[in-house]
Every structure is written in structure tokens, then in C-alpha cells.
Amino acid sequence: MTIQPTNPSADAVSTEQVSRQHVNIGDYAVTDAGCELVTYGLGSCLGVALFDATAGVAGLAHVKRANPSGQQANDDAVFVDAGIRALYSEMQSQGATRQHTVAKLVGGIDTGNNTSLICTGIGERNIKQADATLAALDITVAERDVGGDAVRTVFFDGETGALTIETGCGDRYTI
């Protein structure tokens, strides 16, 4: 998808077009063309960004929950383990290697509260599963912005590997 300026006649508006691909919950995307990968509303879900600068390949997954207890995950990217493995497999098919791939993790908040124990700990379990899966794949976690209580949106630059985070409170920063 190409994003065009909303007011092309304005002097301050850049005429550069940004190629952007949205990543939905339980899905992932890979680019070797340097486009921006975006996912919205990371609460207890995790955004897992993988980048291999040598191969010029980047990927982003929006995984929803850790694997069900005692069960193997299928290839559904809803699950942390399966989503990361599917993302990395696709990146490998485009030239990524373990020794050059790094990860960045975002999200994993605890969406529960004192009156609702249903959601308690989901974010923490997602983070632990992501760490375990990435360790099993021998992929280093270079940066993380996890936990807390702020819902986050991620903008992942497929060319540079820079990951910009925007919170629901309006904060914006890059890791």
C-alpha cells in the first residue's frame, strides 16, 4: 500500500511515498524491499520484529498468546512459538541467517485487574514464551519494550531495522 500526502500542494509535505504493510493479530509479514511494517493495539499481545541487516530482510509478527499448556502449537501465528517460527522460516527463505538476525519485542502488558483474573498474566506468559522460542532459534533479543500498562502501536522500518513505538498516551520513541 502506498501512502500519499493528504495535501500535496502544501510546501511542508514531502512528496516521498512510504510503502506500508499492516500486520493483523495472529499474522506476520516479511519484506526485503524496505517497506514499513505496522501493527496496532499491542496490549497483552506481542509484536516480534526480526531483522537481518546483512540479507536486507525484516519481519514483524503480531502474536496473541503463548502455546496452550501441554500442547504443541500448530502453524497458526496466533501462538507465540508458531508465529515466531513461521516468521523466521519465511525470512530464511529470503536469505536471513541466525548469526545476523536480531529481535525486538514490544507489548506484553498485563490487561487484567483486581476484579478480573481471566486476563492476569497473559502478557508475561507471552514474553516468557517469546524469549524461550528465540533462545531455541539462537536469535538474540537486541531490544525490548514490554510489560507496563500502555497499549502500543509499532512502526518497523524494514530498511534500517528501527522500531518506532507509539503509545495510547501519545508518547513516541524509537528502539
The answer to the question of residue 161 being in a domain is yes
| Domain that residue 86 falls in | 19-174
The answer to the question of residue 14 being in a domain is no
d(CA 97, CA 88): 9
The answer to the question of residue 145 being in a domain is yes
Structure confidence by residue, pLDDT tens digits, 41-99: 999 999 999 999 999 999 999 999 987 665 555 667 899 999 999 999 999 999 999 99
Query: What pTM did the predictor assign?
Result: 0.85
The answer to the question of residue 12 being in a domain is no
Pairing type for strands 57-63 and 27-31 reads antiparallel
The answer to the question of residue 39 being in a domain is yes
Structure confidence by residue, pLDDT tens digits, 88-145: 999 999 999 999 999 999 999 986 654 455 557 899 999 999 999 999 999 999 999 9
Write b or e for each residue in 136-152: b if 16 or more Cβ atoms lie within 10 A of its Cβ, otherwise e.
Answer: eeebeeeebbbeeebbb
User: How many structural domains is the chain composed of?
Assistant: 1
